[in-house]
């Protein structure tokens, strides 16, 4: 009788152990994970430092570009830079397989996004011409990364384009539109830009029926 | 309005600041000085050369006569326009993926 009772108890304990052990182990692991010290930075990345860096970069960008360009970046997240070369940028591909260019003198512009290729387009038709993949890597990697803050990247592109467009375009890798930046996204940005400019124009011009101040 | 925007009526800058973009930090002040003071100018020229030797590009943000802002890329300190109040160094461009 005693033997049978003992065997039953052992079986019950074994079964309970089998059932209870995994959740107990998980609970213990979770407890340890909660109490573990998390390092302040992973691979040198400190979100607070990056945020402060971006804030500084924004102030620098703001102090360098035109007021309209700054407002554009602040509101839309990109800057439009007008092209100044007599011969516009190359339109990669284009069906014939070769490089084609817009008519000489045709106005063209670039959309400058942070850490994305520069997108060349024709403002009149909103035709996307090409993507210019260009980076400004700081190989000294002061905090483990060669990547400038977003606004510094935009400012570097803006300075390079307004200061020496031919050189930066010559150094960039030319690609078809859509290789990295979704053309739908760019077209939507161009539409947003048009809306933004219209609203800005309306704000700056006196409304109908208003009487100018004497 | 941008608080860091320089005074719009400044014609001749009193001092020139050399700034460098830095990952994880934003811009860093490398040197500052009056180009009319010989010691300051020498220090500025030396720092300018050091940055270019390190492979940086140098640009001077300016305001054109028409009021538009643009940058001028410079390769020597002599090329820095007289009215410039700062030179910004940034890593040279490289073709991306």
What's the domain count of chain B?
Answer: 1
DSSP-derived 3-state class of residue A50: helix
Interface of A with B in 24-53 (CB under 8 A): 44, 46, 49-50, 52-53
pLDDT score, position A159 = 97
* pTM for the structure as a whole: 0.79
Q: What is the mean pLDDT of residues A75-96?
A: 79
How distant is the Cα of B40 from the closest Cα of chain A, in angstroms?
24
Q: pLDDT tens-digit profile of A39-78?
A: 555 567 788 999 999 999 999 999 999 999 999 999 999 9
Is the predicted ipTM greater than 0.85, yes or no? yes
Whether residue B79 is contained in a domain is answered as yes
pLDDT score, position A96 = 46
pLDDT score, position A86 = 74
Kindly state whether B57 is in contact with chain A, defined as any CB-CB distance less than 8 angstroms: yes
Interface of A with B in 85-144 (CB under 8 A): 117, 133-144
Q: What is the mean pLDDT of residues A181-196?
A: 97
Packing angle, helices A67-76 and A47-64, rounded to 10: 150
Q: Do B94 and A155 touch (CB under 8 A)?
A: no
Kindly state whether B26 is in contact with chain A, defined as any CB-CB distance less than 8 angstroms: yes
Q: What's the Rg (C-alpha) of chain B?
A: 14
* Nearest to A151, CA basis, from A207, A103, A112: A112
Q: How many residues in total does chain A contain?
A: 214
Kindly state whether A177 is in contact with chain B, defined as any CB-CB distance less than 8 angstroms: no
DSSP-derived 3-state class of residue A209: coil
Kindly state whether A71 is in contact with chain B, defined as any CB-CB distance less than 8 angstroms: no
Q: Do B25 and A53 touch (CB under 8 A)?
A: yes
| Closest-approach residue (CA) in chain A for B66 | A66
Q: Which chain B residues have a beta carbon less than 8 Å from that of A48?
A: none
Q: Which chain A residues have a beta carbon less than 8 Å from that of B69?
A: 64-66, 69
Mutate to test the interface with B, among A81, A147, A162, A181 (most CBs of B within 10 A): A162
Q: How many helices (H) and strands (E) does chain A have?
A: 5, 5
* Residue A141: φ, ψ to 5°: 40, 65
DSSP-derived 3-state class of residue B40: helix
Q: Do A162 and B71 touch (CB under 8 A)?
A: yes
Q: What is the DSSP string of B51-75?
A: HHHTTEEEEEEEE-TTS-EEEEEES
Please list the pLDDT of chain B residue by residue as tens digits (97 residues): 565 555 555 555 579 999 999 999 999 999 999 999 999 999 999 999 999 999 999 999 998 878 889 999 999 999 999 889 999 999 999 987 7
Kindly state whether B10 is in contact with chain A, defined as any CB-CB distance less than 8 angstroms: no
B21: domain range?
Answer: 16-91
């Amino acid at each position: 009788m005693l033997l049978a009772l003992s065997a039953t108890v052992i079986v019950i304990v074994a079964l309970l152990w089998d059932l209870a052990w995994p959740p107990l182990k998980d609970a213990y692991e979770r407890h340890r994970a909660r109490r573990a010290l998390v390092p302040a930075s992973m691979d040198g990345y400190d979100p607070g430092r990056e945020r402060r860096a971006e804030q500084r970069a924004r102030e620098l960008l703001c102090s360098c570009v035109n007021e309209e360009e700054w407002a554009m970046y602040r509101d839309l997240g990109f800057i439009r830079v007008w092209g100044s070369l007599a011969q516009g940028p190359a339109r990669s591909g284009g069906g014939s397989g070769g490089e084609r260019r817009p008519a000489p003198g045709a106005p063209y512009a670039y959309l400058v996004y942070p850490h994305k290729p520069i997108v060349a387009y024709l403002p009149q038709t909103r035709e996307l011409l090409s993507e210019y993949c260009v980076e400004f890597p700081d190989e000294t990697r002061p905090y483990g990364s060669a990547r400038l803050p977003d606004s510094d990247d935009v400012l570097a592109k803006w300075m390079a384009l307004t200061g020496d467009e031919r050189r930066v375009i010559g150094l960039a890798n030319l690609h078809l539109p859509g290789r990295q930046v979704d053309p739908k996204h760019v077209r939507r940005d161009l539409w947003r830009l048009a809306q933004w400019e219209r609203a800005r124009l309306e704000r700056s011009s006196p409304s109908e029926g208003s009487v100018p101040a004497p | 309005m941008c608080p860091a925007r320089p005074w719009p009526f400044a014609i001749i800058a009193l001092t020139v600041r050399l700034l460098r973009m830095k990952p994880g930090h934003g811009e860093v002040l490398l040197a500052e000085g009056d180009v009319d003071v010989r010691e300051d100018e020498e220090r500025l020229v030396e720092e300018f050369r050091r940055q270019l030797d390190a492979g940086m590009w140098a640009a001077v943000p300016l305001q054109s006569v028409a009021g538009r802002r643009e940058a001028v890329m410079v390769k020597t300190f002599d090329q820095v326009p007289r009215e410039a109040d700062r030179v910004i160094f940034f890593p040279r461009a490289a073709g991306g993926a």
